[in-house]
A and B are shown apart, each in its own frame.
Chain A
Amino acid sequence: MTGHQLTHLRQLEAESIHIFREVASEFEKPVMLYSIGKDSSVLLHLARKAFYPSPIPFPLLHVDTTWKFREMIEFREKIVKEYGLDLLVHINPDGVEQGVGPFTHGSALHTDIMKTEGLKQALNQYKFDAAFGGARRDEEASRAKERIFSFRTETHRWDPKNQRPELWNTYNARVKPGESIRAFPLSNWTELDIWQYIYLEDIPIVPLYFAKERPVVERDGMLIMVDDDRMPLNEGEVPDMKSVRFRTLGCYPLTGAVESTAATLPEIIQEMLVARTSERQGRMIDKDQSGSMERKKQEGYF
């Protein structure tokens, strides 16, 4: 032993940087999907590290559903300016035209049109052949088997039965015109790793992750924050002011808050360590039944 062993976070960091560099070298038109959440914050941080002192050699893409928390958009604008990023924002114009939203169309249809379809539109429009995402294998059972370079057909489908074997850190980057890969540099990180790394590296994240008094109403057992006046309230219903935070961020009507007083990173991590609820539970999209995520992925949801 020479004392040259890297810690687990440094090993994970190096692996992610390696993946970023492979994709940037092997593909003609990569893009990084930027969802503004904590995983995206870590992803962005790693991308800046990977290419330093060069700027990130590809654009970021945010598929906006028009229902994101306002603080997310503010944060996005701030970060883009501060780091001088090349950010593309795509909103599904058909969805806007049809007035699609979670309250009028239900969460499934809303997500399908504004997120899944929106993403496909953007990928097709710009002809990206590789898209970075912040998914982790510990998030959900079907992700545990997904490759780091995850092949997608021309119609953006994932075929779990027909994945390319992935050995060592040698990634097969060959695609035909129209086909693409999703690359997941955070595959081997866990939620705890992410929080520890954010703490270690002092990475900025959206303030919604920290507890604060916020106006919430209860819907189907979830605490939904009233982020703007599009939230339909029952007659006489007044949102409660509660100290809450979010473990995951998405469209505000679909994202449950947890009651908490954790207002600093160590407090969040501590809460997380004693928590027994996995993070996707805060997202309505996964709640229907197990296997639903796998189906969505096959259809091209990230």
Chain B
Amino acid sequence: MKAHLDQNHGDIEAYLKSQEEKGMLRFITCGSVDDGKSTLIGRLLWDSKMLFEDQLATLASESKRVGTQGGNIDYALLMDGLQAEREQGITIDVAYRFFATDKKKFIVADTPGHEQYTRNMVTGASTADLAVILIDARKGILTQTMRHSFLVSLLGIKHIILAINKMDLVAYDEKVFKEIETAYLKFAEQLAFETITPIPLSALNGDNVISHSENTPWYTGPTLISHLEAVEVDEDLAAKPFRLPVQWVNRPNLDFRGYSGTIASGIIRKGDGIVEPASGQTSTVKEIVTFDGNLDEAVAGQAVTLTLNDEIDISRGDTLCALQKRPATADQFEAKLVWMSDEALLPSRNYIIKLGTTTTSARVTALKYKINVNTLEHTAATTLQLNEIGVCNFALDKAISFDPYLENRKTGSFILIDRFTNATVGAGVIDFALRRADNIHWQSVDIHKEARSAQKGQKSAALWFTGLSGSGKSTIANQLEKKLHAMGKHTYLLDGDNVRHGLNKDLGFTDADRVENIRRVGETAKLFVDAGLITLVSFISPFRSERQMARGLLDEGEFLEVFVDTPLAVCEERDIKGLYAKARAGEIKNFTGIDSAYEEPENAEIIIDGANTDAEDAADEIIKILAEKGMI
């Protein structure tokens, strides 16, 4: 891999010219701990002169200090970038490495082989076009090998190099190599890879890494580098239908309106027709604008700005598409979801979804099953834990455009973000749109909420009482309803315990069920508010995100959060229903305040000091506030 070395002065410009034509390949390496991943990458960097003197000096001294090679250079230390990880001796995150030959530049995502780090592998695989799957020749195919293969196929990688490593330790035995090859090809039948290239290697000694090894005369296939250089991973994005997710509306002045974005797939030419499928608006391309001048044609991968011949209303999140072969536009789809957070997935909880440049709200409406990454078996599930993968139906707040991931990795993938921590908690690949949503249309009605409220001489709203069990929510809500009723107001009280006897009697107390419980009550409250009623909801509703969800169902100003703030000690002392005693005794599981969290409201409209205010006074206080707000 003599890459860019020792160039003669006179040749340098010719050399630079040739380098401008170089392609690029992103690949991922995966293997179990100690299969030799780090050694292999260290060697690739070393051989392509991507290691420098001072890095080598550091490496040599570190090898002596913590190395596992008895004072010899331990290439693996290079890869363990972060100090903390170095001490544990295990890579725990994705590291990106770079090397180049005369033909190609390579970006390598190095991902850990350790059991719990599926999420890192999925991250590394998402941008890779090829995977090098390492196998220790002595061990053969392990559970991890199957898991890694499944994950890279899930993420849409089509090309596999099966790097059968440590051949030196099995005396470069062809039989060992063949057995592993055969077993792998059989296993991989179910995974839809386009190419699988097995190569016998010794990462440590360099056999078949760059040049053919004399130790494996029986092997006539390519070396690792020659295959990486030659492999054609171009899945022909240019041949797919045109998609340009709009990132930014470019408006330097009133005379110019352009739509900036990276072409996800296809080709666009001046004059081509385009459509924004969510709104159905169409136009034709006027110019393809770039800093380096206008283009006649642009292809997948290019970042451009399009101007159109018609004034149509397009903004960030919209997708400009070919007129023929439009993407799906729907607010429901089925997808495979990889869960990446310590906090389990809660179906029904609203998450932020980011798909391309579109951001909206989404929830899982059905978790159909989990996929066991080791056996590929399907099992029933009600939630997903960290590193679990499930097949789910999703419902979004609005219809968006997308393609199945199998057809387009750029327009068929999304991330989920927690509304409160802002953490990236999941990553999904779309299987297909669910059409059901298209067939249920809103029934428009002539008598609306305002009319119904006005007839009752009030403004309908939901008063959402939240607080610990025994905080006094229901007592206060009860008092309030009596007083409002006496004032001639129209009310309804939805009480947690009562609803659980009917509408929600199929639900238990797991986190997932609690979320569904709240969702149903929120929807019910919404209907009652629509009916013009002042609706009192008395529910522990311990999670901020669920209360937020309920708030989101109602219009601005219609949702008043009433936090009955009574310390746990006081509630437990009251223990009217004897529940705290049972929870403490372990007879009730997941009891809020004891072994399940209560997240206090951050911006409640009304806060009642539950320990020091009696129910009458609390009800009066709330009535005062409602009057001030002009609701009664």
Q: Give A residues with C-beta under 8 Å from B.
A: 1-2, 4-14, 17-18, 21-22, 24-25, 48-55, 137-138, 141-145, 160-161, 163-170, 172, 174-176, 187-188, 190, 192-193, 196, 199-200, 266-267, 269-270, 273-278, 280-281, 290-291, 294-295
Given contacts A6-B302, A295-B83, 6 further A-B contacts (CB under 8 A): A2-B236, A25-B357, A145-B81, A276-B49, A278-B54, A290-B58
Q: Choose one: B93, B261, B424; the contact of A145 (CB below 8 Å).
A: B93
Contact status A52-B289, CB under 8 Å: yes
B264's closest neighbor in chain A, by CB? A169
Contact with A4, one of B5, B123, B267, B415 (Cβ below 8 angstroms): B267
B136-176: contact bitstring with A at CB < 8 Å (1 yes, 0 no)? 00000000000000000000000000000000000000000
**Which residue on chain A has the smallest CB distance to residue B122?**
A167
Of B9-17, B363-371, B431-439, B514-522, which stretch is located at the interface?
B9-17
Looking across the interface, which residue of chain B has its beta carbon closest to that of A167? B126
B500 within 8 A of partner (CB): no
Q: Is the CB of B236 within 8 A of A1?
A: yes
A54 to B250, CA, bound (A): 7
Verify A168–B410 contact, CB threshold 8 A: yes
Q: Is the CB of A21 within 8 A of B238?
A: no
Q: What is the bound-complex CA distance between A169 and B247, given in angstroms?
A: 12
B355 within 8 A of A: yes
A190 touches B82 (CB 8 A): no
B337 to chain A, nearest CB (A): 12
CB-CB under 8 A from A142, the residues of chain B are 81-83
A9–B301 Cα gap in the complex (Å)? 12
- B1-49 residues with Cβ-Cβ distance < 8 A to A are 4-7, 9, 12-13, 16, 19-24, 49
Q: Is the CB of B104 within 8 A of A21?
A: no
B290:A276 contact, CB within 8 angstroms: no
**Beta-carbon contact of A1 and B7 below 8 Å:** no
Whether B94 sits at the interface, judged by CB under 8 Å, is: yes
> What's the nearest-Cβ distance from chain B to residue A6, in Å?
5
Give the chain B neighbours of A8 by CB distance below 8 A.
Answer: 22-24, 104-105
Chain A residues with CB under 8 A of B201: none
Residues of A within 8 A of B305 (CB): 52
> SS class of chain B's interface: helix, strand, loop or mixed?
mixed
| Known contacts A14-B302, A144-B97, A278-B52, A9 near B20 by CB under 8 Å | yes
Residues of chain B lying within 8 A (CB to CB) of residue A18: 247, 262, 303
A13, A137, A278, A290: which contacts B98 (Cβ < 8 A)? A137
Closest residue on chain A to residue B13 by CB atoms: A266
Determine if A6 and B81 form an interchain contact, defined as CB atoms under 8 angstroms apart.
no
In the docked arrangement, what's the CA distance between A1 and B231, Å? Answer: 12
**Are A141 and B98 in contact, with the CB atoms below 8 A?**
no
Of the candidates B52, B81, B93, B289, the one whose C-beta lies within 8 Å of that of A53 is B289
CB–CB B357/A165 < 8 A:
no
Flag if A7 contacts B252 (CB, 8 Å): no
Interface residue? B509 (CB, 8 A) = no
Given the known inter-chain contacts A192-B4, A270-B9, please indicate yes or no for A7 contacting B96, CB distance below 8 A.
Answer: no
Q: Once the chains bind, are B23 and A5 in contact (CB under 8 Å)?
A: yes
Please tell me if B107 contacts chain A, counting CB pairs below 8 Å: yes
Query: Among B232, B252, B355, which residue has the most Cβ atoms of chain A within 10 A?
Result: B252
List residues of B (66-109) whose CB comes within 8 Å of A's CBs. 78, 80-84, 86, 93-98, 100, 104-105, 107
Contact residues, B101-120 vs A (CB, 8 A): 104-105, 107, 119-120
B423 at interface by CB-CB < 8 Å:
yes
Separation of A192 and B49 alpha carbons in the complex (Å): 12
B-side contacts of A295, CB under 8 Å: 83
Question: Quick check: A165 and B234 within 8 Å, CB to CB?
Answer: no
Contact A172 B424, CB 8 Å, known A4-B299, A8-B104, A52-B291: yes
A161 and B302 within 8 A (CB): no
Q: Given the known A-B contacts A2-B239, A4-B299, are A145 and B95 also in contact in the complex, defined by CB atoms under 8 Å?
A: yes
User: Is B422's beta carbon under 8 Å from chain A?
Assistant: yes
Shortest CB distance A221–B (Å): 12
User: Whole-angstrom distance between the alpha carbons of A60 and B93 in the complex?
Assistant: 32
Residues of B within 8 A of A48 (CB): 291
